[in-house]
Amino acid sequence: MTKKWKVYEINEEKQKQINKIVDQYKINPLLATILVNREMDKSENLDVFLNPTRKDFHDPFLMPDMERAVHRIKQAIDNKEKIIIYGDYDADGITSITVLKSFLKDIGINVDHYIPNRLEEGYGLNNPAIEEIAKQKYTLMITVDCGISAIEEIEYANILGIETIITDHHEVAEELPKAIAVIDAKRKDSQYPCRDLAGVGVVFKLIQALAMELNLPEESYLKYLDIVCVGTISDIVPLRDENRVITKLGLLLVNKTKNIGLKSILLSSGYQNVDSTAISFGVAPRINACGRMGHAEKALQLFLSENKDEVNELTKELNEFNSVRQNTERKIYEEAIDLIEKKQLNKKNTIVVAGKNWHHGVIGIVASKITERYFKPSILLCYEEDYAKGSGRSIPGFDLHDCLMKCMQTIEKFGGHSMAIGITLKKDMVEPFANMIERIAKEAHIEEIVPIIQIDSKVELSNLSKEMVESLKQLEPFGEGNKMPIFAIKNLKIDSIRALSEGKHLKMTLKENNTIIDAIGFNLGELTEEYRIGDKIDVVGTLEINTFNGVENIQINLKDIMKSI
């Protein structure tokens, strides 16, 4: 697939700013170049970005309704009311419950929790759950990572005598639920400096505010930064502003965590370095697999347990759930690809594919992989009696939510945003729906959209050093809003080239004059058919230090290749 390379250009004004940052912060010019190109010198306090401390958290009482929430929780504590936390089943929700429940337990308040079953109840609050909570005489419900859109459910809770504090981070509609307090930095009246906290980040602000109100030491809430960090990275929120402070400091705690459940799942994931990658690809999938397969309680218990034998057993179960999730995902993916190729759906502008017995917990992941493979918006549906239910993913430049708004006559219900949706159709409307979104995509000239690789800087092979590559670690943790920097290196000669893992991956050595560098291209194995030893090529990729047999060398992790002009 042809990709467009887009390189930041350095003009005179930018160069002056780069030089200024190099002098002021005593950092590598390449690092300064990345900061300026990404405009972090304008959007971030660079002192905080490069060296955040515990003093760099914003005042939690700037959050809307925070004071009201703290007052109501204190009242519930004084009156010995029954309190319940209502959470979500993903990694953000599980860590949110963990942090709030653990903090309250530490100050002598035992609270209960409720997690809806993804497969039976779906996301968010529901009336049958609220009825059960009312029957058990709970008078205060605190939602975490959910609740901002639960207008009717909160009204029902009010009728049943349950008062609610909502803590959430999702987008806010025109009307707010009639709760005692609605804490969400995305509220239109919010003055909070960071709008992009994860659900667990909002919970962190709540326990910070409670600690301040109760005159507790900073340690009483800061000690949970390891779990807050895990939830924040797992939820793929932008790692800028306060999220960066949370994750940068949190990862320091993760490396020496006292939470035996987190320690156990980290060890079982097999990652040598505990960084944002280990959380994103080692910890998060295992927690999320529990929710996807209908066993979210297991993940929560892992983080709350203080019994090593129980933790070992739970870790084993989480790994098994993750294996089942992977196998289920692989099976659906293979079946979907088979259907797409047979029906030549990949020749269309959009892909709508439906099958039987596709697991709802993983269908969204498969939709993401289909979209990534074909670079087309894709919607995967599972037939269930008279209905087809599923998930969709889009590509940058095509608003899938807006597209579906134009297809309402074919849809029973849907929700989501521009890049990801969940949808329910009647079975006999699948074909009319597919035809309609294909027509809308065609009218939008979606075929003209090509994937763009944003390149942070051009570099010369001869100028690269291990010290330079090591300096890029100051940008960590990497994630949404702060991706690993990508570099372009031009006019390199292929010194060797071969495929690995039965043709799946690409391995090369590249040469410029007398300098040779290793390069690895994951999932780029098919390019071995297009290039030969001696070809002159331009490459883009990330730079890393590879250690083999105790020897460290710079390596390019390839993202794309093209022949030199």
pTM over 0.85: yes
Residue 43 has a pLDDT of 85
Got the DSSP string for 121-167? T-SS--HHHHHHHHHTT--EEEEES--TT-HHHHHHHHHTT-EEEEE
Mean pLDDT of 280-286: 95
What residues contact residue 198 under an 8 Å CB cut-off, 6+ apart? 92, 145, 169, 231, 232, 234, 235, 237, 243
How far is it, in rounded angstroms, from Cα 320 to Cα 313? 11
Beta strands 351-356 and 181-183: pairing type?
unpaired
pLDDT at 553 over 70: yes
Of the ranges 207-211, 235-239, 381-385, the best mean pLDDT one: 207-211
Q: What is the dihedral of CA 392, 367, 296, 117, to 10 degrees?
A: 40
Residue 311 has a pLDDT of 97
How far is it, in rounded angstroms, from Cα 354 to Cα 349? 17
Average pLDDT of the residues of the chain: 94
Range from 66-75, 90-99, 137-146, 548-557 carrying the lowest mean pLDDT: 548-557
At residue 231's C-alpha, the angle toward residues 147 and 382, to 5°, is: 65
Q: pLDDT-based confidence at 174, cuts 50/70/90? A: confident
Q: pLDDT-based confidence at 171, cuts 50/70/90? A: confident
Q: Are 230 and 224 in contact (CB under 8 A)?
A: no
Mean pLDDT of 301-314: 97
Token digits of residue 185: 């930095």
How far is it, in rounded angstroms, from Cα 318 to Cα 285? 9
CA 30 to the chain's CA centroid: 27
pLDDT at 530 over 80: yes
In the three-class reduction of DSSP (H, G, I as helix; E, B as strand; rest coil), residue 487 is classed as: strand
Q: pLDDT-based confidence at 146, cuts 50/70/90? A: very high
Residue 113 has a pLDDT of 97
pLDDT at 21 over 90: yes
How far is it, in rounded angstroms, from Cα 554 to Cα 457? 17
How far is it, in rounded angstroms, from Cα 38 to Cα 61? 31
Q: Which of 85, 114, 91, 89 shows the shortest CA–CA distance to 293?
A: 89
HSE (CB half, 13 Å, CA atoms) of 167?
33
Q: pLDDT-based confidence at 118, cuts 50/70/90? A: confident
105-116 confidence digits (pLDDT tens): 999 999 999 999
Share of the chain above pLDDT 70, in %: 100
At residue 268's C-alpha, the angle toward residues 472 and 247, to 5°, is: 35
Residue 327: burial class (beta carbons within 10 Å; 0-12, 13-18, 19+): exposed
**DSSP-assigned letter for residue 519:** E
Architecture, CATH, for domain 60-317: Alpha-Beta Complex (3.90)
466-519 confidence digits (pLDDT tens): 999 999 999 999 999 999 999 999 999 999 999 999 999 999 999 999 899 999
Q: pLDDT-based confidence at 1, cuts 50/70/90? A: low
What residues contact residue 158 under an 8 Å CB cut-off, 6+ apart? 164, 178
- In CATH, the number for domain 453-563 is 2.40.50.460
Q: Which of 449, 453, 451, 469 shows the shortest CA–CA distance to 539?
A: 453
pLDDT at 197 over 80: yes
Q: pLDDT-based confidence at 181, cuts 50/70/90? A: very high
Q: Are 539 and 550 in contact (CB under 8 A)?
A: no
Residue 334 has a pLDDT of 96
418-448 confidence digits (pLDDT tens): 888 889 999 999 999 999 999 999 999 999 9
225-260 confidence digits (pLDDT tens): 999 999 999 998 999 999 999 999 999 999 999 999
Higher pLDDT, 490 or 416: 490
pLDDT at 386 over 70: yes
Q: Across 418-531, where does the E strand assignment appear? A: 420-426, 452-455, 457-458, 487-500, 505-512, 515-521
- In CATH, the number for domain 343-448 is 3.10.310.30
Q: pLDDT-based confidence at 547, cuts 50/70/90? A: confident
How far is it, in rounded angstroms, from Cα 336 to Cα 329? 10
Per-domain residue ranges for the chain?
A: 60-317, 343-448, 453-563
